[in-house]
Amino acid sequence: MERLQKVIAAMGYCSRRKAEELIQKGLVQVDGKIVTELGTKVGKGQEIIVEGNLLQNTEKEYYLLNKPRGVITSTKDDKNRKTVVDLIPTEKRIYPVGRLDYDTTGALLLTNDGTLANALTHPSSNLEKVYIAKVKGIAGGEHLVPLKNGVILDDVKIIPDRVKLRKVDKEHGTSIVEITIHDGKYHEVKRLFEQVGLEVIKLKRESFAFLDVKKLPSGSYRKLTPKEVNCLYTYVNKNK
Ligand code: URA
């Protein structure tokens, strides 16, 4: 058994002092009952709700990784290549939510929460993913208009949520295009560009739902906060 404020802080919700404040204000519930006593002790398996946010059981772990190139999105590899799981030291059996290609970088979620992982990868989740693609050649209307209008992949018309030309490098003959999609087909972004005559030479997933890797250096990771986990649950439940 541990003191409630210590458990709230350990779960990454806020500092211990802030947790004490929230308890005294009556904003913390344990197993459905408001607790205002600072000395209250709680054990594993008890349900703690702070300001309406359910703190997830500590057995569950959630990480946001900025995946580097040359790492496989899997838990193990027959060819003994490094996997995304090797980049996060934990005792828990975490696995990636969806996949990024070996040479794709950027936002990747890893967890041992199967319920959330399944919901996030289900087509109905409608999760927005923003990719930044470096393509060969000068991207123009002749490529981007058909892309915006939709491209057939595996007999299904894929209409990106957004397509934006970010930069053209005339000297090197390359362009940077931002594309937002909500499906998760195999090699989807590379194949969408290929269909409109552009070859992707570099690909980065900048964000996954509301989680982005702008402040995470390549190869590094962070734990999601309980609020972020709750938001992901709200997100998938909303789109059920
Ligand atoms: N689309 C791709 O083509 N590759 C990825 O890694 C992700 C999306």
Tens of pLDDT, residues 155-195: 999 999 999 999 999 999 999 999 999 988 899 999 999 99
What SS3 state is found at 228? Answer: helix
Written as six digits, the tokens of 99 are: 């996949």
| 234 pLDDT above the threshold of 90 | no
List active site positions.
101
Tell me, in angstroms, the distance from the centre of ligand 1 to residue 189's CA: 5
- pLDDT tens digits for 40-54? 999 877 889 999 988
Q: Whose CA is nearest to atom 7 of ligand 1?
A: 100
Find out whether the beta carbon of 158 lies less than 6 Å from any atom of ligand 1.
no
Q: Residue 155: in which H helix or E strand, if any?
A: none
pTM of the model: 0.79
Set out the domains of the chain in order of their start, with CATH numbers. Answer: 2-54 (3.10.290.10), 62-124+211-238 (3.30.70.580), 128-208 (3.30.70.1560)
Residue with tokens 């409608």: 126
Q: Kindly provide the b/e burial profile for residues 197-217, where b requires at least 16 CB atoms within 10 angstroms of the residue's own CB.
A: ebebeebbbbbbbebbbeebe
Percent of the chain at pLDDT > 70 equals: 98
